[in-house]
Amino acid sequence: MQPARVLVTGANGYIAAWLCRGHLEQGDYVIGTVRSVGKGAYLKKLFASYGNKFEVVVVEDITKPGAFDEAVKGVDAVQHTASPVRLDARTANELVDPAVRGTLGVLESAKNFGKSIRRVVILSSGAAVVQPAKDHTVFDESSWNDAAVEELKQKGDAASPLTLYRASKVLAERSAWEFMESNKGLVSWDIVAVNPPFVRLPPIHEVHSLLELNASMEMMYKMLNDTQSDAEALSRFSGWYVDVRDIAAALSQFARAPDVGGQRFIVAAGPLFWQDIVDAANETDPTIPVKGVPGATKGKPPGYTFSTSRAARVLGMQSYRSLETTVKDSLDYFKTFPAST
């Protein structure tokens, strides 16, 4: 496989750091954008064994016009992962504005200065796909979470933090597709959007304490350590998951795979209930407090289904890391920190 020059925006992020490692492992030259010199220093140390194949570029504000003008020059592919992931936002502008403007900014820079670019991969989210439904629903790449956008329109900043996050993902991804439609014939590259569900597994980006975990890992840690867990809620809440190593591998493939441009791809390992995570943790580590009703959700139909056939057909992604593997590796990571941090 011919090495490529790849730009990864938000390189110090949870998924992005794994993605940088994946590209480096396959011989690519990676340019990672970060918001400050300090954030880049950690990555340089992390990837020091790859020599001069990893470079850091500081982009202080992704919403600033022309922020990525220099970064896109001379690269073959762009992996756009820089977007806020917060479940505690109080205003729409905390999430929607940087998500949309950052996405449009990197595309505009690619249009004006990315003469060598062949592909831009947009890391979107399953949150841009799934929306509430009365009955069990199969969601595929044609599905959009219009409900979150509508709630945002109606409630504004009064919408729930989760709705704000979901709406930001919908609006950012749609802005990318609208950009491509309005710039037909003006760009020589295509885009791919990748939509994962909850992403699990220990981070390799800079984390000083358990208080600094990314949103999905923080959710898992708190659930496993909450002595007041509601047994009914553990068996009721369902979703889908994917191991961060699998989504990073998929993203790196999409950067160079033929015949995938102009498409969305759902990349997901399988469904789960919160009780499934607790049960997997108990099997791995008997010291983890037993919560809920062990085994209560084994074989229970999920609340919805993701169709992953497109990724399976195009990339041959037929198997993923199991929930048990992901939970075990996560528990091992949690133990590297003092419980009080």
| Mean pLDDT value across the chain | 91
Residue 340 falls inside a structural domain: no
Report the percent of the chain where pLDDT is more than 70: 97
- Report the alpha-carbon distance of residue 208 to residue 247 in Å, rounded: 24
Contact status, residue 152 vs residue 83, Cβ threshold 8 Å: no
Residue 339 falls inside a structural domain: no
Domain count, the chain: 1
Contact status, residue 265 vs residue 141, Cβ threshold 8 Å: yes
Residue 338 falls inside a structural domain: no
Residue 30 falls inside a structural domain: yes
Question: What are the pLDDT digits (tens) for 18-75?
Answer: 999 999 999 999 999 999 998 899 999 999 999 999 999 999 999 999 999 999 999 9
For the whole model, what pTM was predicted?
0.93
pLDDT at position 128 is 97
Return the DSSP state at 251. Answer: H
pLDDT at position 322 is 93
Residue 15 falls inside a structural domain: yes
329 pLDDT exceeds 80? yes
Range of the domain at 233: 5-333
In the structure, what pLDDT confidence band is assigned to residue 92 with cuts at 50, 70 and 90? Answer: confident
* Structure-model confidence comparison of residues 215 and 138, the more confident one: 138
Residue 341 falls inside a structural domain: no
Torsion of CA 161, 163, 166, 172, to 10 degrees: -90
Q: Which amino acid is at 145?
A: N
How does DSSP assign 91-141, residue by residue? SGGGTHHHHHHHHHHHHHHHHHH-TT--EEEEE--GGGT----SS-EEE-T
Q: Is 36 exposed, middle or buried (0-12, 13-18, 19+ CB in 10 A)?
A: exposed
* Exposure class string for 186-225: b at 16+ Cβ within 10 A, else e: ebebebbbbbbbbbbbbbbbebeebeebbebbebbbebbe
Report the percent of the chain where pLDDT is more than 90: 71
Collapsing DSSP to helix, strand or coil, 201 comes out as coil
Q: What is the CATH number of the domain that holds 132?
A: 3.40.50.720
In the structure, what pLDDT confidence band is assigned to residue 228 with cuts at 50, 70 and 90? Answer: low
